[in-house]
Amino acid sequence: METTQVTAPAVRKSITVNADQQRAFEVFTTEFDSWWPRSHHIGKSPMTKAVIEGRAGGRLYSAQEDGTDCQWGTMLVWEPPSRFVWAWQIDGQWQFEPDLARSSEVEVRFTPEPGGRTRVDLEHRYLERHGLDADAIKNAIDSPEGWGLLLELYRAAAEQ
Amino acid sequence: METYHNPQLDALGDATRRGILARLIDGPRPVGELARDFPVSRPAISQHLRVLKDAGLVVDRPDGARRVYALNPDAFESLREYFDQFWNQALAAFKRRVEQPPSPPSKGRR
């Protein structure tokens, strides 16, 4: 089998929530700050607010305690209340990645279900665009600021 | 607890090996071509490739008389695993939030 590029399988998640489509979309986006994990930002100081700008070309960013804004994503597709796609612009050094060709994508779809419920399908794709450079792997594994720590936090939470 | 990461870290602690990985991002390469690209001997390249292979970062296959090396797609697994678990956590938090009425901001920190 001849392949010219290495691709990583997408991460896919589906959940059904007890809220209608409009409400589910709004909580995910407008009320993003109310549920987004507080540990998950790339600022140098603690995060005070997590924000999704609801328009194509809008930013995903965190406001930091030191007064700075840290962008970590760009809205690529904005179709309320059914779907949006954003570029996940965090590189292996836990820094903003301005190059969309080196960013992965997250698509979230909201589908009405009977009984006023909504199915939420999330796909995080093109992970290979983050590259397999040494620093990315090293940070993923052992940086206290990096993915490794988040994984540990998740494990701790999951095992409670 | 997690011992399987260590060979990867060791493998990445060398500039030539990092260079080889960077080259392989563009696609599979025969060992002879890699040897030409780096200012080290061919036996040295082969040794580096063996370390990368043992660490699970590259895979090889025969192509006639040559051996062709490629990035191991499984090497993305730690990144996938991270996001897989991250989204479990984030979507669970989202579900808890969306199914509850708005509540006043919590006081202080835990």
At A71-125, the pLDDT tens digits run 999 999 999 999 999 999 987 667 888 999 888 999 999 999 999 999 999 999 9
- For residue B99 the two structure tokens come to 């199914």
Q: What is the C-alpha separation between B90 and B101, in angstroms, rounded? A: 18
Name the range with the highest mean pLDDT among A59-63, A140-144, B73-77, B103-107: A59-63
Predicted complex: ipTM over 0.90: no
Q: Give me the residue from A35, A147, A151 closest to B97, CB to CB.
A: A35
Q: How many angstroms separate the CA of residue B75 from the nearest CA in chain A? A: 8
Which residues of B, range 40-69, sit inside 8 Å of A by Cβ?
Answer: 57
- Please provide the size of chain A in residues: 160
The DSSP bridge pattern shows strands A117-125 and B58-63 to be unpaired
- A36 inside domain: yes
- A26 inside domain: yes
* Mean pLDDT score, B86-101: 91
What b/e sequence results for A98-134 when a residue is b if at least 16 CB atoms lie within 10 Å of its CB, and e otherwise?
A: eeeeebbbbbbbbeeeeeebbebebbbbbbbbbbbbb
Q: Which fold, B5-72? A: Arc Repressor Mutant, subunit A (1.10.10)
Domain containing residue A82: CATH number: 3.30.530.20
- Cβ–Cβ gap B76/A5 under 8 Å: no
- A138 inside domain: no
- Cβ–Cβ gap B78/A132 under 8 Å: no
Count Cβ–Cβ pairs < 8 Å, chain A vs chain B. 123
- A150 inside domain: no
pTM, full prediction: 0.65
Q: Which domain holds residue A119?
A: 11-131
Order of strands across the sheet with B66-71? Answer: B29-30, B66-71, B58-63
Q: What is the total count of domains within chain A?
A: 1
- A54 inside domain: yes
DSSP at A9: P
